[in-house]
Structure 1
């Protein structure tokens, strides 16, 4: 069984995150590339860490036009179900957007984690801005991996 669930549909971003995980810890990683796959995964078990993107397709992409409708807040659906199921995983949100829409308001990433933790009763460790052309996102991500003791 995997220790880390990596919920990401973008292969480039996925590979960047996977490289950091591989360099910093020896944990098995399971991938979910859609809202449906992520919902299934968090409903089955808790993970040591769930790395969650906010914008996800409805279904796994299986060819041209596959994946269904993109959901800009697909990650919120994953958090909602995890909260309802009292999932004990630690979550880190890694997104390319500087804010997250919560209850109709755009909330900065620096405030989103605490608000979403309270809203869904989850352990959301942090929200990190990913920029493909800047490695700055790696610093807080590595800090989280070390802080929670993933080796």
Structure 2
């Protein structure tokens, strides 16, 4: 399992966990357990996995939104939604920290937890602008 997330930690959401995203998990009260903040950027390669995105290593400037944890008790449910397991070999996503960037790609000095896709993306279409549309999601669970 990834390290413990604590109250006050930042997350960057780029897909179904973004506020207002189609396919968002109704059982996760993200607005009640944290605060959505300003848009941000991070480096990676975003792909369409068929109704939800994944990000893997890459140099694309991807879009996300900051979310600050108030109640860290929600994090295990978020991990479960993203299929994070105790064994990295079986996790669909890994929860890792990344540096946040501004629109020009410069470091902001902030780091945030992110759900990083943990499978091959061969055969999946890249999201050319690195920005998952709010209306593109489909319920995963």
| Fold match (TM-score > 0.5) | no
Considering Cα pairs closer than 8 Å and 6+ residues apart, tell me whether 1 or 2 has the greater RCO.
2
Identify, as 1 or 2, the structure richer in helix: 1
Q: TM-score, normalised by structure 2?
A: 0.29
Q: TM-score, normalised by structure 1?
A: 0.28
